[in-house]
Structures are given as C-alpha cells and as structure tokens.
A and B are shown apart, each in its own frame.
Chain A
Amino acid sequence: MTSCFEKIKNGFVGYFGNIKRGFKPKYYINYAVITLFLIINIISQPKTSTTTLLANIGIAIILAVSLNLVVGFLGELSLGHAGFMCIGAYIGTFISNQIFNTIGSKVVVLILTMIIGGLVAAIFGYIVGFSALRLKGDYLAIVTLAFGEIVRNICMNIPAFGGAIGLKNPHRYGNNLYIVAFVMVLVMLILIQNLIRSKHGRAITAIRDNEIAARAMGINVTYYKLFAFVLSAFFAGVAGVLYGSFNSIIKYGDFSFNKSIEILVMVVLGGMGSINGSIIAAALITFINTFLQNKLPGDLSALRLLVYALILMVVVIFNNAPALSKYKDKYSLSALYKKIYAKITDKLYAKHPDKKQAIIKDDSASWSSIPTKIKMDEVLSTDINTSETLPGGNENDIDTEGKRDE
C-alpha cells in the first residue's frame, strides 16, 4: 500500500508527465515571455512611473483577455465590461477597508479581496449571461451597455461606497502591485487558455461558429454561454480589485462607457479570438495613452483624443476593408512575419521537404465570422501528443499535406 506521500508524488509526476508529453513550445511562448518580462522588471527596480505603467498594463491585459473570452470565443458582443470592473473595485476596496486592521499583511488582504470581488462580479456576470440567452448581436450589446451604466449609477449613490466623493483606500498597495498584477495575468492565461484548448473550448467556439448546429450536436448552449460570461466577469472583477487597491481613491467616473469601449478596442485590434493579440494590444494601447498624456502637456491634451481616434480608424479600416485586402497581404505586420517564418522553415526543412506545413487560407465576411484573419484552429489544439495514440509510431499522424495533428 503506497503511503499517501507516494500517491501525492505519483500524482504530481503523472500530472506534469502529461503536460511534458503534450508540450508544444508554440503554446507556451506567451507564458515564458511574460515571466521573463516580470523577472527582468523585478531585478531592475524600475522608477515609480514605470511601476504605475506596468500595473496599468497588467490590469488592462486581464480585462482584454477576459473580454476576448466573451467577444472573441463566444461571439457575443459585450459593451459593459467596465461594469464588472466597477463592482470588483468598489467591493474589493470596501472589504479591504473593513478587514485591513484585523489582517495585517497587505498581500493576504489583496488575495482575499480579489477572490471576493471576483465572485461578486461573477454573480453579476451570471445575471447578464441570462440576458445573453435570449438576445443576440446589437440587442445584447445595448443590454450589456445598460448594465454597465446601471452598476455605475448605483455605486455612485450608495452612501457606504463614499457617494460622490468616491471610496478612499488608505492602505494603497504601493508600487510593486505590478508583480501581483502580472502573476494574476499568468494565472488567468493558464486557466483561460487551458479552457479554450479543451473540449469545452471547442463547444464555446462551436456556439460562435453556428449556434443552430451546436444545439443540434447536443451542446448545452445555455450552460456554456453562462459559463463564459461568469468566468469573464470573475476576471474583470479581479482586475477591478487590483485597480481599486492600486489607486488611493476610486470614483464612479473611472468606469465609464469610454472604459468599456477602450477594452473592446484592445480586443478587436489585437484580433478577436487571439489571446496573444489581446495581450499585445492591451500593453500597446495603455502605453500609448500614458505616453501621449506625458508628451502632450497643457492645452495640447485635446490632441490626445484626436491621435487615439486616428490610430483606431486607420488600423481597423486597414485590417478589415475588403478593398484593401491585397495591400494588406503585402504590407501588413503579419505578412512580414509570414515571410520571415517562411524563410526560416525553408532553411530548416531543406533536408526533408515533405514535412513543410501548408498555410490554410480562409475568408468569410459575416456577423458570425472573425473580422481579422486568425488561424482559429491552431488555438484549439489540446496539448496531447498524438504520436502515441495510434499504433505504429507517428508516421501516419502527418496527413498528406504534411500537417501534424494537434
């Protein structure tokens, strides 16, 4: 009878064994990049302005990726994401003010409030999710927008939340909040990416591709829509708690309709349905906002609104206008990336030409399709090593066009 210690050890070995066997570097790059980025920053003790920027980037990434779960993977447009953030911020700060004197350390308080704030926001996510069952497209967008405004209006008028003056947070977390923020980014990435790359992820994307067919295949559409909304609301709440503990005062004005739009823009520019895209877009837009705020002092700050609007329009029109698609393939960033990738693979595969990967082209322009052309399919691979599944080694895992199973 192996001792329980043995069992635990085997459990762990088995657990990490599975992951090791199914390990594909392509899907773990974003974890590696973020951890490296975090370690570098911790070592180099950045100035306070960089720590503020990093914390804001961390919070923006959590918001963008959680919104991407609903907009990109479930295909439901949500304009009320700042509402969940508002709940998280107010509940988190309110509770941290109450329990701070009983529990001394800031970290424990932060973790506790993050969980509670996230759960409360998740409950509201469940309520909004219900409306998603009956409504589609524009109607759902306006209901989520209405939800954001209602939450903001109520939080403004609750006396316990400090009313118009806003809720003060005497125990501000201080400058190294960005470490906690990025750790939360990693936790969220692991959970959301693992969900997407599993049968449940396939079910959610099936609902987005063709809800009628998904229903006919016996997928419990209600369950998965609610699950997506609840999970996305949970992480938005956590981001809200982080925002609350980072600023010394939170006002209802910080979570306005423009904040929801800003998060949506991060998701769309990053590419709906692409998690790495959301990460890059969130970091970039937060950086541009802070950069423009510094570089345009005084009365030029109206220019910031203008520059932001122009960037928005040019990128979206360039990416999605059907007429520009031929230029897009020639000059865009992804075209550059493809050329470099092609050169590298040519050199690598010089010796065994049959293994070169075919690049799949797909394009369809309708509400349910993804505006930017991301190879959705790769995102859904499920970390299993297919070579072992079939007897006779891994020769027949590469089909005629040389594409390896994922």
Chain B
Amino acid sequence: MSTLIDGLSLGSVYALIALGYTMVYGIAKMLNFAHGDIIMVGSYAIFTTMSLCGFPLVAILVAVVVCTLLGIAIEKVAYKPLRGASPLAVLITAIGVSYLLQGIAQLIYGSTSKPVTIINMGNFQIGNSTVRVSSIVTLVVGAILMVILTLFINMTKTGRAMIAVSEDRGAAELMGINVNKIISITFAIGSALAAAASVCYLFQIPSTMPTLGAMPGIKAFTAAVIGGIGSIPGAVIGGVLLGVIENVCKSTPLSPFTTAIEFGLLIVILLVKPTGILGKKRREKV
C-alpha cells in the first residue's frame, strides 16, 4: 500500500518537472534540457537559505524566486538569439546551459552531496504499512499546483495567449500578442514549477549535489513524452505513471532492471501511440 503512495509522491515530483518540459515545448517549441538543472539550483538555494536562517518557508520562497529569475535569464541569454534557428541548435545550447549550471554549482559548493532537511515530518500507520507525511504533502502540493496551472492556462488572458502562441506563433504575433513576453512568462512559470518540484524532491530525498538534476530531468522528459509532449494533463499522467512504476519495480526482485523497465515502457507506449497518450496527432498537410 505504502509503495503505491510513495510511488504517487515520487510521481508527482516527476509530474511537476514534466509540466515544466511540456509547457516550454508546447509554447516555445523547444526542448529545455537545462530544466533538470534548474531543480538542482532550487535545491541549492534552499540549502543556502536553510544554513543561513532556519525558516523553511523563507527558503522555499527564495528557491521559487531564484528559479524563476534563472529561467527567464536562460531564455533571454541562450534561447532568444536562436529563435529562428533550427531546433537542433537550440537543443545543443540547452545542453551547454545544463553543463554550465552543473559546473558553477560544483565550483561554488564543491561536488560532495550535502544533507538538507526542510521540515521533519512524522509518519502514520495505515494497515501494516507506514506512510510518510511528506509523501502525502508532496501529493497534495503537486495536485494543487497542477489545478492552478490548468485554471491559469484556460481562464486567464495570458493563458489563452499562451495557447495561441503554441498553436501558431506567426498568427499569434499578427493578433498583437507580444510573443517574447509570453515565452518569458512560460519559462518563468516552468521554472517556478521546477522550484516547487525541488522542494517536493527534498521532502523525499533530503540531500543535494551538483548532478542532482540530470537523472530526474531525463525521467521527467520521458514522462512528458509518454503523456504526449505539449499536453498539460498528459505530463501529469506520464509523471505519476512513471513514479508508481519506478517504486513498484524497486520493491520487486527485478529492481536492478528498474531503469530498463521504465524506458522499455516508454518505447512500447510510443510505438503503440506515436504521439504519446494525450498527444495531438500532427498530420503533415500533403
């Protein structure tokens, strides 16, 4: 039972990260490989504020602000000049930014992993399995943020402008939408979600290191693609699914092959439905 709940909480962490990927891909049509490392920066922001002053809430706030500014800065410096260039060039720059963030973190904090505990939460018993309060908190926080995001996208004016930009950037520009502003907002929201993801991540795994963002980044990207890249609910489903499978695999004797099973699942889903579970079928007009 608790493997399920742990799986769901890990899944909601992946979902939060995947949301960042899907939004940036859906609207700015580019793969932000550095998204995983924004989480690492968020966790280091929490680590520094916790060691300076002990208030968890202040730390979370600082993390969100730092990540959002970082997201916008990356977009302005690394991706805006490449707006017209081929998507592959943008992909390589994103990889460059990702290595840059890891290098800087390693220089400042050294590459040893540092323990970070935000709030010590107890646990409670359900049947014979104990469930950690932090998993429940992660689930709840994840759910709330996803609901807020979907509401924001569908209800508010900027949200609809985002959908317009994702449908057809050229037409959106003609309709007087300032595309650059919208893309910066997308990166800002994506990075804020990454900050939230880093908080939930630290609930689960109380330690941070420079390469923290690499593996979760790839797994969240896989989740976003499973769910259908570009669709917000898709990212949530993909993330949760991946989290549960990872946790279930780990408790079975198959656990050395967990990564192989996860990525195997991705290939199977994509071959059955090439654009992911909720992905839109984009047919090239002949």
Contacts and interface: CB of A to CB of B under 8 A. Distances in A.
A268 B119 CA distance: 46
Contacts of B275: 139
Interface string A122-140: 0000000001001101110
Contacts of B104: 306
B170 interface: no
B86 to A, nearest CB: 4
A320 B89 contact: yes
A320 B82 contact: yes
Contacts of B225: 138-139, 142
Given A212-B284, A320-B89, A323-B81, A306 B107 contact: yes
B102 A305 contact: yes
A316 interface: yes
Interface stretch (A179-187, A199-207, A348-356, A363-371): A363-371
A268 B263 contact: no
A221 interface: no
Interface stretch (A37-45, A144-152, A282-290): A144-152
Contact of B256 (A131, A142, A157, A365): A157
A143 B93 contact: no
B86 A320 contact: yes
Nearest to B95: A261
B99 A312 contact: yes
Given A309-B97, A316-B96, A320-B82, A149 B88 contact: no
Interface string B78-121: 10011111111101110111111011101100010000000000
Contacts of A146: 222, 263-264, 266-267
B154 interface: no
B99 A365 contact: no
Contacts, number: 140
Interface residues of A, number: 50
A302 B31 contact: no
Contacts of A305: 99, 102-103, 106
Nearest to B226: A142
Given A138-B25, A142-B266, A153 B84 contact: no
Q: Interface of chain A, helix or strand or loop or mixed?
A: helix
A371 B93 CA distance: 13
B254 to A, nearest CB: 10
A184 to B, nearest CB: 27
B174 interface: no
A150 B260 contact: yes
Nearest to A131: B271
Residue of A137, A143, A310, A367 contacting most chain B CB atoms (<10 Å): A143
A322 interface: yes
Interface string A57-87: 0000000000000010000010000000000
B218 interface: yes
Given A145-B218, A147-B267, A149-B259, A312 B92 contact: yes
Contact of B92 (A157, A268, A324): A268
B155 interface: no
A134 B274 contact: yes
8 contacts: A142-B222, A143-B267, A149-B260, A149-B263, A150-B267, A265-B95, A321-B82, A370-B86
The 10 closest A-B pairs by CB, nearest first: A306-B103, A146-B263, A309-B99, A312-B96, A313-B96, A305-B103, A320-B85, A320-B89, A371-B86, A302-B106
Given A147-B263, A153-B256, A153-B263, 18 more contacts: A138-B225, A138-B229, A139-B270, A139-B275, A142-B225, A143-B270, A145-B218, A156-B256, A257-B214, A305-B99, A305-B106, A309-B97, A309-B98, A309-B100, A310-B96, A316-B96, A317-B81, A370-B86
Interface of B: 25, 31, 78, 81-89, 91-93, 95-100, 102-104, 106-107, 111, 214, 218, 221-222, 225, 229, 256-257, 259-260, 263-264, 266-267, 270-271, 274-276, 284, 286
